[in-house]
Amino acid sequence: MCNVYSYMRISTSEERDLQKFTRQESALQRYAKENDIEYLLEFREDKSGKNFTERKQWQKLESIVQPGDMIIFKDICRFTREAEQGYVKYMELLNKGVELIFIDNQTVSTPYIKQLLNVAKAQNLVARISLESTIKLLLIVELDRAGKKNNSSKN
């Protein structure tokens, strides 16, 4: 039996009046109801998404998550705002067997990515490498877009 966790993040406590957890909470509750999910623990914090090391709630969640467990986010921006570190962390969790669900970004949720990787494994060398590169590019583009979205909203 896997455990299911939710994770919510807003950028900083100074922006609390502008950014609230309300939309994330609503989306996570709706997703749980539609998919008959009960969250074991809900994690939330007011921290930048630029790195994982300064996010105490993320570190706590990452320390308890086990293979087969699931972490649900409203969107990929709540996971990270940094493409390179985000890709490394995503792959660590994927390889550990943790499911990452991004309600608003299903094409980068791990079930879909694993499905694509399984298709790639069944291909010849050229097709396999091409598809694996396309999958990596998809993830990096989405992670990069999340970071750029944050930067453009500050201008």
The DSSP result for 3-30, as a single string, is: -EEEEEEES-GGGTTTS-SHHHHHHHHH
Radius of gyration of the chain (CA): 16
CA torsion sign for 124, 127, 133, 137 is negative
CATH of the domain at 31: 3.40.50.1390
Containing structural domain, residue 132? 4-154
Q: How far apart are CA 140 and CA 145, in angstroms?
A: 8
pLDDT bin (cut points 50, 70, 90) of residue 154 is: very low
The DSSP code for 55 is -
**Res. 63: pLDDT tops 70:** yes
CA angle at 51 for the pair 49 and 54, rounded to the nearest 5°: 95
pLDDT tens profile 71-119: 999 999 999 988 999 999 999 999 999 999 999 999 999 999 999 999 9
For the chain, the average pLDDT equals 90
Total domain count, the chain: 1
* Model pLDDT, residue 15: 53
Dihedral of the alpha carbons of 34, 36, 39, 42, in degrees to the nearest 10 = 10
* Model pLDDT, residue 149: 64
